[in-house]
Chains A and B, each alone.
Chain A
Amino acid sequence: MSFWEYANPKKFMGWTAPVLPYVFGAAALCLTVGLIWGFFFTPDDFRQGSTVKIIYLHVPAATMATGTWFMMLAASLVWIVRRHHVSALAARAAAPIGLTMTLIGLLTGAIWGQPMWGTYWAWDPRLTSFLILFLFYLGYIAMWEAIEDPDTAADLTSVLCMVGSIFAILSRYAVNFWNQGLHQGASLSLDAEEHVSDVFWQPLVICIVGFVLLFVGLVLMRTRTEIRARRIRALEARARRA
């Protein structure tokens, strides 16, 4: 019995079916608690007023936007090395979720930036690198859609994901070259001097856990859909041949 046995599509379908409701349930619980606590039971910031509460959507979405790319990178590596189909399908399933998270991060950031910085958009390093990440997600998804043969598509998108990761990190540091910009530093650092005040921190962590659980649930669900879609295609191909 090894860890990799869970990558067998049939086993994967078997163990995800009972797990999914718990994951979604826990995600809903965390998000409900975190968001209600954050929105109604934290004080207004003395400078930002109530707009600070958008942090409970903005920071988790932004965290997941980069986290999703790393998950796709790991899944791509597994596909290249061990050729588990579920892994490639999970990477494919995660991409639109990452795209959505990036979009949520950018939009909530714009809504937050308008009252605070006086502008919806600035060519700030962090904002710019997220816009570039958005483009990378678009390219990755378009690549999957464009290639007909599923194995070739998985191969090529894996290579794209790996090369893209290097260039995404490069871009992140390249835009730093301009200046530090408007965006604040790390809000989540474990160093108490740097991160946001404790009253905001606790519900924020709950929200992030909720977002991670939501992401895991969505990826599992979408991977199941991809597996089913592939089975249907295999059945159709067999029916055509018969």
Chain B
Amino acid sequence: MIALLLRDLRLAVRAGGGFGLGLAFFLIVIILVPFGVGPQVDLLTRIAPGILWVASLLAALLSLDRIFALDFEDGSLGLLATSPLPLEGAALMKALAHWITTGLPLTIVAPALGFLLSLASEAYSYLLLSLLLGTPALSMIGTFGAALTVGLRRGGLLLSLLVLPLYVPTLIFGAEAVRRGADGLDATGALILLGMITAGCFALLPFATAATLRMNLR
């Protein structure tokens, strides 16, 4: 399992594109928002939590189709399925690798971009915490979506149509936690629910992902 994780990480970093692309996309979306809504600081402060969460969600979406597509094309996914490692474990590792290459960097740079949107100073810790709790769920749900569409030639658009509705609860709780933090309210409830979603996704979705992969490989 560790070997698979390291292999995926190495591929993501060395094979170019994938790794930095999500981050660059995140940066550009955040920079575009003030151009769209105007430079009023109070307005930006108010919408910053939601914008940061929506942008990180879209950035995570960007690299999803890469999770299984290349392995499916060159046949290594079939090898993975026949290896002694259960396919559920492989799905889990794929999601983890995706999180380390997109979710984690997004979480780390998000406070800097919050600064650009003049996010309220109390909200930074909540932003960091909610992204840390929430982005693993985005990766796991996305891995499931990628497994669903892996056999399709042009699955990219279908993938976003399938995955974005599944992202709704995570987005609501994540953005709500940051908003409450910014308003100085108690955000514990939202953070706990966010953590529950992530834990539930990691407990159940590897099985669904492995099942869909088997269906696609048959």
| Interface of A toward B, CB cutoff 8 Å | 132, 135-136, 138-139, 142-143, 146-147, 152, 155-156, 159-160, 162-164, 166-167, 170-171, 174-175, 177-178
The residue that A170 contacts in the complex, of B151, B158, B169, with Cβ under 8 A, is B169
- Check A152/B148 contact, CB under 8 A, given A159-B211, A174-B169: no
B164: Cβ under 8 A from any A Cβ: yes
User: In the complex, are the beta carbons of A136 and B215 less than 8 A apart?
Assistant: no
Residue from B149, B158, B168, B176 having most chain A Cβ neighbours under 10 A: B168
Contacts of B190 in A (CB 8 A): 177
Contacts of B212 in A (CB 8 A): 155-156, 159
The residue that B215 contacts in the complex, of A132, A143, A155, A164, with Cβ under 8 A, is A155
Contacts of B173 in A (CB 8 A): 174, 177
- Check A162/B208 contact, CB under 8 A, given A136-B165, A146-B158, A156-B216: yes
Interface size class of B (residues with CB under 8 A): 20 to 34
B155: Cβ under 8 A from any A Cβ: yes
Residue from B164, B172, B193, B216 having most chain A Cβ neighbours under 10 A: B172
Contacts of A142 in B (CB 8 A): 158, 161-162
Contacts of A159 in B (CB 8 A): 148, 208, 211-212, 215
Residue from B161, B165, B204, B215 having most chain A Cβ neighbours under 10 A: B165
B14: Cβ under 8 A from any A Cβ: no
User: In the complex, are the beta carbons of A163 and B158 less than 8 A apart?
Assistant: no
Contacts of A155 in B (CB 8 A): 212, 215
- Check A163/B205 contact, CB under 8 A, given A135-B164, A171-B169: yes
B197: Cβ under 8 A from any A Cβ: yes
Closest residue of chain A to B165, judged by CB?
A135
Residue from B158, B166, B216 having most chain A Cβ neighbours under 10 A: B166
B144: Cβ under 8 A from any A Cβ: yes
Contacts of B1 in A (CB 8 A): none
Q: How far is the CA of A163 from the CA of B168 in the complex (A)?
A: 13
Contacts of B149 in A (CB 8 A): 146
User: In the complex, are the beta carbons of A160 and B165 less than 8 A apart?
Assistant: no
Contacts of B151 in A (CB 8 A): 147, 152
Q: Mark B181-199, 1 if CB is under 8 A from A, else 0.
A: 0000000001001000100
User: In the complex, are the beta carbons of B161 and A147 less than 8 A apart?
Assistant: no
The residue that B148 contacts in the complex, of A132, A136, A143, A177, with Cβ under 8 A, is A143
Contacts of B165 in A (CB 8 A): 132, 135-136, 139, 164, 167, 171
- Check A167/B148 contact, CB under 8 A, given A142-B158, A152-B215, A159-B208: no
Residues 144-158 of B contacting A (Cβ, < 8 Å): 144, 148-149, 151-152, 155, 158
Contacts of B158 in A (CB 8 A): 139, 142-143, 146
Closest residue of chain A to B163, judged by CB?
A139
- Check A177/B176 contact, CB under 8 A, given A146-B158, A167-B169: yes
Shortest 5 CB-CB distances between A and B: which pairs? A174-B169, A155-B215, A135-B165, A170-B169, A174-B172
Contacts A167-B165, A174-B168 aside, 11 further interface pairs with beta carbons under 8 A come to A139-B165, A146-B158, A147-B152, A155-B215, A159-B148, A159-B211, A160-B148, A163-B144, A163-B208, A171-B172, A174-B173
User: In the complex, are the beta carbons of A156 and B215 less than 8 A apart?
Assistant: yes
What are 10 of the A-B contact pairs (CB < 8 Å)?
A: A135-B165, A156-B148, A156-B216, A159-B212, A164-B166, A166-B204, A167-B166, A171-B168, A177-B172, A177-B176
User: What is the CB-to-nearest-CB distance from B202 to chain A, in angstroms, rounded to a whole number?
Assistant: 14
Contacts of B215 in A (CB 8 A): 152, 155-156, 159
Closest residue of chain A to B196, judged by CB?
A170
